[in-house]
Amino acid sequence: MKLKEFAKQVGLSPTTVSRALSGYPEVSETTRARVVAEALRLGYRPDVNAVRLKTGRVGAIGVIMGRFGEFHFAEFMAGMAERLASEDTDILVIPMADRDLNEEMQTYRRLAESRRVDAIIVHSPKPNDPRIELLDRLGIPFFVHGRSDIAIPHAWLDIDNEGAIRRSTEHLLDLGHRRIAMINGRKGLTYSIHRDIGFRKAFEGRALEQDAQLIAHDTFTDELGFRHARFFLESSNPPTAFVAGSMMTALGVYRAVRSLGLAIGEDVSVIAHDDVFPYLTAENMAPSLSATRSSMRAAGARCADLTLQLLAGRSVSDIHELWPVELNLRESTRPVR
C-alpha cells in the first residue's frame, strides 16, 4: 500500500499523514493517533527507499568485516544489533579482503559515492591508519573501535589495553615469574602496540629486564596460540608464564603446555585477556583461567550508540571513551617454582 492510497483511506492528504507518522509537532494529537492506528490496522509502512531518497538518510551503519578475528567480530556485531534493534537502523556488513590496501580504499570510495551507509565503524586501527584519513577526506561519518594516533580527530571507544596487560604482567612478576612470554595481536595494530607498552612498563616499573624475544605477534586463534607457545616452551630457556592476547590464544597455550606433559598453574602460569564469549568462559576452564576482562558485546552496543549520537550531530572531538578492564585472578596463575 502506498502513501497516496493510504491517505485516501484515512481521508487526509499525504502531507498530513506523512507528518503524523514522522511525529511532526504541527499535526493535532487526535489526528496523529487516528493515523497511527489506521497505519497499524492497514499495515501501511513508508517505502524505505523513497524515504531514503528524499531525506538523504540511509538508515544503515556499515561495519567492516576483515578476514581476521571473526570471533570477536560476531560478538561485536551482536552488541550493535542489540542497540540498533529499537532504532530503524540496519547493519550493513562490508567485507574487506584486508590484504590489498588499494582495493580496500577503492571499496571505501565506492561506499562513499553510492551513499549506502550513514556511517562506518572501523575496527583494529593502526597508529597512522590510512583508512581514517580516507574516510575523513571522503566526508563519511565514521567511528573508530580502538584508537589511532593520527592527527585527524575521530570519535572512538577503546579499552585500556596498556593498563590491562600491565596489570596482568605485574601480577605474574609479583608471583616471582621472570621469564614471561606474551602472545600478542597482529603487529602494527594500535592495541597490540599498547599491549607491548604495558608489558614493557610492568618490567620497567620494577627495574627488571624483559627479553624481547619472548613476544610473538599474530592473529588470535587457538591454532596460533598453540604454535607460538610450543615454540617458546621448546626453546633453550623457556618461559615460566604466558600472557595470552585472547581466550582462543589461551586455549592454544593450554594445549601446548599439556602436550609437553606440563601442568597449567603448577609448571606454567597463564593469564589472558577475555573479551567475554558466551561459549567460552575463563571460570570454567580447567584449571580456571586468570584474566583481564572487558565485554566485546557491550563495546559493540556502545559503539552503535555513540555512532548514532555522532549522526545526531554530537561533536566528534566529544566522543572518546576509554574503558577500564576488570582483573580476575584464578587458578592458572601461581607462584613460580
Partner DNA sequence: CAAATAATTGAAAACGATTTCAAATATCCC
Partner DNA sequence: GGGATATTTGAAATCGTTTTCAATTATTTG
**Residues at the site binding DNA, with contacts judged by CB under 7 A:** 2-4, 6, 11-16, 18-19, 21-22, 26-29, 31, 45-47, 50-51, 53-56
Of 27-46, which residues contact a second copy (CB under 8 A)?
Answer: 43-46
51: part of which helix (H) or strand (E)?
Answer: helix 48-55
Q: Least distance from C-beta 64 to a second copy, angstroms?
A: 11
Q: Least distance from C-beta 48 to DNA, angstroms?
A: 8
Q: Is 203 helix (H, G, I), strand (E, B) or coil?
A: helix
Please answer whether residues 10 and 17 qualify as being in contact, where contact means their C-beta atoms are separated by less than 8 angstroms. yes
Q: Is 219 in the site for a second copy (CB under 8 A)?
A: yes
Residue 219 interacts with, from a second copy, DNA, none (CB under 5-8 Å by kind): a second copy
173: part of which helix (H) or strand (E)?
Answer: helix 161-174
Q: Is 311 in the site for a second copy (CB under 8 A)?
A: no
* Calpha distance 46→69 (Å, rounded): 38
Q: Least distance from C-beta 102 to a second copy, angstroms?
A: 15
Residue 31 interacts with, from DNA, a second copy, none (CB under 5-8 Å by kind): DNA
* Calpha distance 278→216 (Å, rounded): 27
Query: What sign results for the dihedral spanned by CA atoms 309, 126, 328, 70?
Result: positive
Residue 29 interacts with, from a second copy, DNA, none (CB under 5-8 Å by kind): DNA
SS (H, E, C) 143-169: EEECCCCCCCCCEEEEECHHHHHHHHH
Q: Least distance from C-beta 160 to a second copy, angstroms?
A: 25
Residues at the interface with a second copy (CB under 8 A) = 43-50, 52-53, 58, 60, 65, 67, 70-71, 73-75, 77-78, 81-82, 84-85, 90-95, 97, 109-110, 113-116, 219-224, 226, 248, 251, 255, 258-259, 278-281, 284-286
